[in-house]
Structure 1
Amino acid sequence: MRFSVASTLLALATVASAASSWTFSDGTVKVLSKAGNDAVEKFSGVDRVQNTLTLGHQDKLKVTLTTKDGSTAKRPHQAFLVVKEASGLEAPFPLTVKDSGKGTVEISQKDLPVQLLLSQEPLEASLVLASFGSSKGSVTPVFDFTVKLDAATSAPSYEKPLRYGKLAEIHHIFRADPKNPPKIVSITFALAVLATVPALFIGWFALGGNFTHVQKALGNAPISHVVFFGSIVAMEGVFFLYYTQWNLFQTLPAIGAVGVAAFLSGTKALGEVQRRRLAGER
């Protein structure tokens, strides 16, 4: 009898593939009930349990099987029965496995997290096998079961944990621009400021202010005195514009420019006044 090369290679590849993955056999799940209503179902890596089992508050769910590396019964490094709910939350339960590959695990309601106990959908149980070496691990869904809580006791509760994720869009509402005070208030304070001007001149005359030196001061340093006096008037104008229509970003550059002009011109203007004072001119 002659075999084709392709058929031989395919057969060898199939054997190698089967020998390089973790599997199990003799899978059995039992629901041990104190009421005597035990349920027994068998499963394998190909056929899962078709019926949905029920785990009561006094029941125990026992899973037994034999783990295999390919076709050889062997103990894997990792063997878990993972119970998962519809949202994706899961809880692992390690199997106790002997060197012969015989493994078992028991689950009761007290072993399940509160979130799984309160699940409205059936829980899915999957078998996870893996180990060191070249053999591939496996994740095999084997059966589903529901949790039947004790009707005589209150359902367990828990505080929902904080979940980080996308939040609702935040719409910023900025405050309206500040409004000017009533006109009567502005007029009152304007008159109060203007009333200080006559008081200023009266104080100058009372203290012996000499206006006859104006012509001499302008003759010695005309540009400095004019620019210095003009910068003082300009600064008041900047404040007036800020009060009436400018914002802070428009006002600050203007204050900086006027301030520099006042500093440079004031240095020379006041220096000229000091020289006349030192000369005995009052």
Structure 2
Amino acid sequence: MQFQSLISFIILAVLGSAYQISNGLTKYNNKELTFSQNEPSLESIILNETNSKVELNFQILGNEQPEQLSIRLKNSENVETSYKPILKSIGDGKFNAKLLISFDSLPSLFQISSKLSIDLLVGSRKDSNPIFSKIGDIELTNELISKNFGNYEKPQRFESLPEINHIFQQPPKTVNPQIALTFSTGSILVLGGLILVWGGQGLINFKNFPSGLDLIYSIVFIGLISSFEIVFFQYYYGSTIFQTIGKSTILLGPTLFFGSKVLNYVGKLRLAGKR
């Protein structure tokens, strides 16, 4: 027994790996195939039924149990999945590994893949030369693929998603309609209130109607007041605040001038007792 352990240690030292694989055996559909660490099975595993199963058995030779042990299946599109075999120590640095793979347990993509490669990975953190070897292939018959193709839905992660086109909302170029409507309504109410006050005090009548230059002053003043109303309505219908301020500034000077002329005329009439 000690002599066998010594031989195992010498083999591992010569090959430069902490582990070696031996006695690889694959069972499926009452058939058996052998494989080793450096030589995969000479024949492919043929699956033709949905209840097919593949059993992998092999022995690991090493000084301690490997920290990483997995069987990897990979299709032609390099999509892969991994399985962890059941590992059992049998003493003298030997471990038996067993894995049973049923067709129903395969990912849906693999159930319509014509060929799957089987890879074996064995290693530990202390091992600078882990085992990563191909040990065989699985082939699915066309009849088996056809049975499962109708049930397959391709996951979105295997393809690019539609491009997201987002149009950002442009900043508003006009004032909020409620604000503009408030100012316009306020202007109309102020003008209406002014007319009512003038009428209540007897300032609006057709006696001593202005004539000559005073008539022109009055007409221009009323026109300027109406122009202010038009400017505020334009502001409501889409003019910017800067356009509104500019127009109001232009109208302000003439309005003060002609307004003072009209008020002087009205004041003279009141002093004369004609109003």
Does 2:99 align with 1:117?
no
Q: Secondary structure at the match of 2:109?
A: helix
1:52 is displaced (CA, Å) by 1.7
Structure 1 counterpart of 2:160? 165
2:70 to 69, 75, 80: 80
Q: Secondary structure at the match of 1:117?
A: helix
Does 2:99 align with 1:101?
no
Q: Secondary structure at the match of 1:212?
A: coil
Does 2:124 align with 1:131?
yes
Q: State how far apart, in whole Å, the 1-side matches of 2:70 and 2:14 are.
A: 25
Does 2:136 align with 1:143?
yes
Structure 2 counterpart of 1:56? 48
1:74–1:101 contact (8 Å) kept in structure 2? no
Structure 1 counterpart of 2:180? none
1:112 is displaced (CA, Å) by 1.0
Q: State how far apart, in whole Å, the 1-side matches of 2:24 and 2:253 are.
A: 97
Q: Percent identity?
A: 15
Q: Secondary structure at the match of 2:97?
A: strand
Structure 1 counterpart of 2:173? none
Does 2:50 align with 1:28?
no
1:67–1:74 contact (8 Å) kept in structure 2? no
Give matches, 1:230-245, under 5 Å.
Answer: none
Q: Deviations over 1:97-136 (max 9, x none)?
A: 12332111111212212211111x2111111223333544
Q: State how far apart, in whole Å, the 1-side matches of 2:110 and 2:38 are.
A: 26
RMSD between superposed Cα atoms in Å = 4.8
Which residue identity lines up with residue 257 of structure 1 in the other structure? G
1:93 is displaced (CA, Å) by 1.5
Q: State how far apart, in whole Å, the 2-side matches of 1:50 and 1:271 are.
A: 115
Structure 2 counterpart of 1:46? 38
Q: Secondary structure at the match of 2:16?
A: helix
Change (3 A) 1:217 1:42: same
Q: Secondary structure at the match of 1:88?
A: coil
Change (3 A) 1:154 1:236: same
Structure 1 counterpart of 2:58? 65
1:54 is displaced (CA, Å) by 0.6
Which residue identity lines up with residue 123 of structure 1 in the other structure? L
Which residue identity lines up with residue 109 of structure 2 in the other structure? Q
1:30–1:63 contact (8 Å) kept in structure 2? yes
1:142 is displaced (CA, Å) by 1.6
Structure 1 counterpart of 2:80? 90
Q: State how far apart, in whole Å, the 1-side matches of 2:78 and 2:206 are.
A: 91
Change (3 A) 1:132 1:276: farther
Which residue identity lines up with residue 16 of structure 2 in the other structure? A
2:55–2:100 contact (8 Å) kept in structure 1? yes
1:53–1:144 contact (8 Å) kept in structure 2? yes
2:214–2:262 contact (8 Å) kept in structure 1? no
Structure 2 counterpart of 1:182? none
1:42 is displaced (CA, Å) by 2.1
Q: Secondary structure at the match of 2:104?
A: helix
Q: State how far apart, in whole Å, the 1-side matches of 2:264 and 2:162 are.
A: 69
Count of residue pairs the alignment pairs up:
210
Q: State how far apart, in whole Å, the 2-side matches of 1:22 and 1:77 are.
A: 11
Give matches, 1:251-270, under 5 Å.
Answer: 253-262=242-251, 269=259
Does 2:210 align with 1:212?
yes
1:141 is displaced (CA, Å) by 1.9
Q: State how far apart, in whole Å, the 1-side matches of 2:230 and 2:75 are.
A: 75
Q: State how far apart, in whole Å, the 1-side matches of 2:217 and 2:128 are.
A: 103
Normalising to structure 2: TM-score of the pair?
A: 0.56
Q: State how far apart, in whole Å, the 2-side matches of 1:95 and 1:128 are.
A: 11
